[in-house]
Structure 1
Amino acid sequence: MFDIGAGELLVILIVAVVVIGPKDLPLAMRTAGRWIGKVRRVSAHFRSGIDAMVREAELEEMEKKWKAQNEEIMRRSAALTEAEAGAPVMTGPPPAEPAPPPAQPEPVVAPEAVTDPAPAPAQAPAKGAADV
């Protein structure tokens, strides 16, 4: 966090022994440890509060996005329901003018059927077991 190296820590320890004295050094280290612990707890609490606020902001943003998507889906659903009911629906730009239908050729009328004056030939009787 503070990027204190081994050499710097050794210098701080020597200054502390000279200034505080070897007799009171353990008490001073204990007090410093408590302060460092309090600072860490406060910073962790602060960090968790910031994280909670960020999560809440993200949730609000997602809820807005979901609400907009839900409204879009409901609008489309209503438009489809109206279209199925036969009501005109304008959901986009106006359609281009329709192309004229392709020209259909005149139907060809077949000449009247000519009847054949010759009668159809009679079918020969089937050979069965009795004819043999």
Structure 2
Amino acid sequence: MFGIGTGELLVILLLALILLGPKRIPEIAKSLGKAVKEMEKVKTELEESVKEELRPSRLIEEKEEEEKKSSGTGRKETLS
């Protein structure tokens, strides 16, 4: 996990307990949990947005709409 060994993790937790006190650790853990959850939500929304933008059928639909608009202007393209 993040390149941290068990011993290192225990030292970090012990320091947090000493510096923050036993009453604040649950509050901080709860805040961190909410922050991680929100970051995952944003990541998921961003992934879905990118997938939607890159969806092939969407690109085809947009191309067809553009062709309809250009053919509906009264101009006809001729091949030479």
User: Which of the five TM-score ranges fits, normalised by the shorter chain?
Assistant: 0.5 to 0.7
- In the alignment, the residues of structure 1 paired with residue 10 and residue 16 of structure 2 have an alpha-carbon distance, to the nearest angstrom, of 10
Which amino acid counterpart does residue 34 of structure 2 have in structure 1? Answer: R
Which amino acid counterpart does residue 53 of structure 1 have in structure 2? Answer: E
Aligned to 1:10: 10
Pairing 1:96-107 to 2, within 5 Å after superposition? none
Report which of the two structures shows the higher radius of gyration computed on alpha carbons: 1
More helix per residue: 1 or 2? 2
Cα deviation, 1:50-109, whole Å, max 9, x if unaligned, reads 111121xx2226x97xxxxxxxxxxxxxxxxxxxxxxxxxxxxxxxxxxxxxxxxxxxxx
Which amino acid counterpart does residue 42 of structure 2 have in structure 1? Answer: V
Pairwise CA distance, 1:43: 1.0
Deviation >4 Å, runs of 4+? none
Pairwise CA distance, 1:12: 2.9
Q: So what's the TM-score if we normalise by structure 2?
A: 0.57
Please report the RMSD computed on the Cα atoms of aligned residues, expressed in angstroms. Answer: 2.7
Pairwise CA distance, 1:46: 0.9
Which amino acid counterpart does residue 9 of structure 1 have in structure 2? Answer: L
- In the alignment, the residues of structure 1 paired with residue 16 and residue 46 of structure 2 have an alpha-carbon distance, to the nearest angstrom, of 31
Q: Aligned pairs, how many?
A: 61
Q: So what's the TM-score if we normalise by structure 1?
A: 0.38
The runs of 5 or more residues in structure 2 that have no matched partner are 64-80
Aligned to 1:99: none
The runs of 5 or more residues in structure 1 that have no matched partner are 65-132
The secondary structure found in structure 1 opposite 2:23 is coil
Paired-residue identity, %: 27
Pairing 1:1-132 to 2, within 5 Å after superposition? 3-7=2-6, 8-55=8-55, 58-59=56-57, 60=59
